[in-house]
Amino acid sequence: MRGGLGGPRLLLRRLREVMAEPVSAQARLDRIVIHIAANMVAEVCSVYVQRSDGKLELYATEGLNREAVHLTTMTTGEGLVGLIAEKAEPLALADAQAHPAFSYRPETGEEVYQSFLGVPILRGGNTLGVLVVQNRARRTYSEEEVEALQTTAMLLAEMIASGELQSLAAPGQSLSLQKPMSLTGSPLSDGVGLGHVVLHEPRIVVKQLVAESFDAENARLDAAILAMREQIEVLIARGDRYGAGEHRDVLETVRMFANDRGWMRRLREALDSGLTAEAAVERVQNDARAKLQRQTDPYLRERLHDLDDLANRLLQQLTGVTPPHGGALPDNAILVARNMGPASLLDYERANLRGLVLEDGGPTSHVAIIARALGIPAVGEVPNITDLVETGDAIIVDGGSGEVQLRPSPDVETAYGEKARLRARRREQYHKLRDVPAVTKDGVEIGLHMNAGLLIDCQHADEVGAQSIGLFRTELQFMVAPSFPRQSQQYALYRKVLDSVGDLPVTFRTLDIGSDKVLPYMAKVEEENPALGWRAIRIGLDRPGLLRMQIRAMLRAAEGRTLRIMFPMVAKTSEFVAARDICVREMEFLRRHDYKTPRNLQLGVMVEVPSLLWQLDEICELADFLSVGSNDLTQYLFAADRDNKRVSGRFDDLSAPNLRALKSIVDVAARYDKPVTLCGEMGGKPLEALALAAIGFRGFSMTPSSIGPVKAAIRAVDLGALTALLMPMIERLDHSFSIRRELQAFAEAHCVPL
């Protein structure tokens, strides 16, 4: 077979020469189609290029009527050409006119040609156009011919991607590669960012497509595959010390693909058609992307990531290029990535970073938490984004709505620019509220505290006028660290946190890991149901060494000051008692060893497991304070995974059952005169915060940026009037109305800003 294909290789060399000729784009395309037709012994060769309006326009032809060039167009899905573009698959027909999709275009004069072979022009799995050859006589195109035409299409893809053909587009038209796109994902971090795409993992650009020698390329490919397999084995053997994104199951899937015969065969076939080893990898990956991107099955789509990973590793072996991560960024950079670990985001220089778009990351992913802490607008779960962008493309991220505007039109850009300015103005207004108390019109004061998890968060306390750090999520230090933080590192962080906020109290929460919060360096425990599994205080009590080490670090860090510690996921009173005993013993230990201890130690319980609702009396007797973790409490009350988009929106925080449960907590706490705050997302939403205040809450801890809006709402409300409206609704036995809607109407009627 190889001997008989001198033709395709010869063609590739010819085309490479044509690519280098100093002629106009149209003349180059015209020559290309002549060469292809001659080499494939076809009477017709045509190139259709996809425009930004989705239409496929005839850009060049040998054999069809030349007048039809730039006049004939097809929509995607229309005719054979449209079908190829839609399916992104080759189509070979001995009798084209008998195909149900055949669409006759009189201006082209194609009625005399019987056989038809068309292939998509692909880049990153996306269709940029269609390349067609036709023959007058009926004939069956061989697999080698299909392969050869696909390889040729790669060169055309490069030509289109280079922007050279843009000059041939009619005024007002652009090519699909430049088309504006409006995409929607999940809001991760609020804010609007305008800028240009920087790929977190820049594509390795294959410069040399055409091989000089098959044997040399074959040997290069063999060596690279061998080296890559060895690299994967080493990573797997290294056991628990993977780098970011190199979890064992991913590596094992990649290893499986690396030994897959079908994949190897396709690589050899691509080599055989005259490509260099790296171009062959790109070619095979392009086809795989085109197929898998069109799959609706999430499992199959997930395999695309594994194949991408494999192709990237192989390309790195072949080119010796390892993409740089982190560091300096150009002005107004918007990072685009498939996924990213929290530490990687922190590696980038902050000053020029305007936004983040991810293909995978959901709202509770660690990188999302970091983006929020840094105040970087971010959107996650944007399907396919890394394939749709090119480095330098204009892009807008709206982290509030989850919208991403790619290559926006000037109108869209102006609208978002305006939105960003409006936000800045509103922030200024909230800033003016910084020093005024959060008191309702009828004189009820509400404490507004902030949630934090990193040292950088703490600077916001002063900016927004938070009364304390009501929740410090200590697990973030563990999540961004490359290995388990030592006691001295934990101590250093807690001390800096306390120092950075001066006199403000800080409530540290002990390590809340497990479930979705996985530490990459800790052996993963396989659980059927991780959210109901071994997590938070459960790990702390089963591995008391860990908890003790953390508590000791906190006690030492708070020497001479007040220290507040609370425990997550307590499900029964005895767990709190056991945790409290550890604290007491650690205090004694430190005193015995002449360490300075906190002046005052307050121990609290997070109420986030429903079983505690029936142990509130015992808890209130024992604890110094309560903090309601409404994110978890709601997910367990409604049995709806907070990270699962399918179910997380089915239940309203402002529905009667939720409000009744929350009210029972404040009621009991009031009986025991125990302070209670709420530190879940609910308290950071103005309408929800008002409802919570109406049922008795007097303190909320929230993301710093929510303090302004919540304070503005509190200051505008008459809480007595709102309570009078809400209480009977909570008790009502019919469910034919929406508390949310009633509250919204109240807010509107009373000019309460939401």
Nearest to 269 by CA among 143, 363, 430, 168: 143
Tokens 């388990």 appear where? 484
Under DSSP, the state recorded for 126 is E
Minimum CB distance to Mg ion smaller for 638 or for 746: 638
> Looking at 86-94, 205-213, 219-227, 627-635, which segment touches Mg ion (CB under 5 A)?
627-635
Among 124, 185, 195, 680, binds ligand PEP (CB under 6 A): 680
Residue 485 interacts, among ligand PEP, Mg ion, none and using kind-specific CB cut-offs from 5 to 8 Å, with none
SS3 (DSSP) at 134 = strand
Minimum CB distance to ligand PEP smaller for 62 or for 512: 512
Among 282, 403, 632, 681, binds Mg ion (CB under 5 A): 632
Would you give the end-to-end CA distance of the chain in angstroms?
Answer: 71
Among 217, 608, 653, 688, binds ligand PEP (CB under 6 A): 608
Q: Contacts with ligand PEP in 613-652 (CB under 6 A)?
A: 629-632
Tell whether the torsion through CA atoms of 172, 173, 174 and 180 is positive or negative. positive
> What angle is formed at CA 455 by the lines to CA 452 and CA 461, rounded to 5 degrees?
55
Sheet holding 378-380, edge to edge: 181-184, 403-406, 394-398, 192-199, 333-337, 353-358, 378-380, 186-189
- The single residue of 45, 458, 583, 679 carrying the catalytic annotation is 679
Among 195, 362, 514, 629, binds Mg ion (CB under 5 A): 629
H-type alpha helices, 320-362: 342-347
- Distance between CA atoms of 282 and 705, rounded to whole angstroms? 44
Residues with Cβ < 8 Å from 66, sequence gap 6 or more?
none
- Distance between CA atoms of 64 and 34, rounded to whole angstroms? 12
Minimum CB distance to ligand PEP smaller for 416 or for 636: 636
- Please give the size of the binding site for ligand PEP, defined by CB under 6 A: 10
Minimum CB distance to ligand PEP smaller for 362 or for 408: 362
Residues with Cβ < 8 Å from 578, sequence gap 6 or more?
541
Q: How far is the CB of 632 from ligand PEP (least distance, A)?
A: 3
> Could you give the dihedral angle defined by the CA atoms of residues 211, 212, 218 and 223, in that order, rounded to the nearest 10 degrees?
-100
Q: Contacts with ligand PEP in 443-472 (CB under 6 A)?
A: 471
| 247 is annotated as an active-site residue | no
Minimum CB distance to ligand PEP smaller for 135 or for 634: 634
SS3 (DSSP) at 271 = helix
Under DSSP, the state recorded for 481 is S
- Contact by Cβ (8 Å): 159, 16: no
| 99 is annotated as an active-site residue | no
Of how many residues is the chain composed?
754
Residue 132 interacts, among Mg ion, ligand PEP, none and using kind-specific CB cut-offs from 5 to 8 Å, with none
Q: Give yes or no for residue 512 binding ligand PEP (CB under 6 A).
A: yes
β 91-93/600-607 pair status: unpaired
Instruction: Please give the structure tokens belonging to residue 149.
Output: 């035409």
Q: How far is the CB of 641 from ligand PEP (least distance, A)?
A: 13
> Looking at 49-57, 404-412, 575-583, 602-610, which segment touches Mg ion (CB under 5 A)?
602-610
Q: Give yes or no for residue 287 binding Mg ion (CB under 5 A).
A: no
> Looking at 267-275, 388-396, 629-637, 645-653, which segment touches Mg ion (CB under 5 A)?
629-637
Minimum CB distance to ligand PEP smaller for 569 or for 616: 569
- Distance between CA atoms of 375 and 739, rounded to whole angstroms? 32
Q: Give yes or no for residue 470 binding Mg ion (CB under 5 A).
A: no
Q: How far is the CB of 519 from ligand PEP (least distance, A)?
A: 15
Q: How far is the CB of 588 from ligand PEP (least distance, A)?
A: 30
Q: How far is the CB of 456 from ligand PEP (least distance, A)?
A: 18
- Contact by Cβ (8 Å): 496, 565: no
> Looking at 9-17, 23-31, 611-619, 624-632, which segment touches Mg ion (CB under 5 A)?
624-632
- Please give the size of the binding site for Mg ion, defined by CB under 5 A: 3
- Distance between CA atoms of 261 and 267, rounded to whole angstroms? 10
Q: Give yes or no for residue 473 binding ligand PEP (CB under 6 A).
A: yes
Tokens 């860090």 appear where? 557
Residue 339 interacts, among Mg ion, ligand PEP, none and using kind-specific CB cut-offs from 5 to 8 Å, with none
> Could you give the dihedral angle defined by the CA atoms of residues 4, 6, 12 and 13, in that order, rounded to the nearest 10 degrees?
180
- The single residue of 366, 458, 460, 583 carrying the catalytic annotation is 366
Minimum CB distance to ligand PEP smaller for 211 or for 569: 569
β 353-358/333-337 pair status: parallel
> Looking at 42-50, 295-303, 482-490, 623-631, which segment touches Mg ion (CB under 5 A)?
623-631
Q: Give yes or no for residue 688 binding ligand PEP (CB under 6 A).
A: no
Contact string (CB under 6 A) for ligand PEP, positions 90-109, x = contact: --------------------
β 469-473/447-452 pair status: parallel
Residues with a catalytic annotation lie at: 366, 679
Residues that bind Mg ion (CB under 5 A): 608, 629, 632
Residues that bind ligand PEP (CB under 6 A): 471, 473, 512, 608, 629-632, 679-680
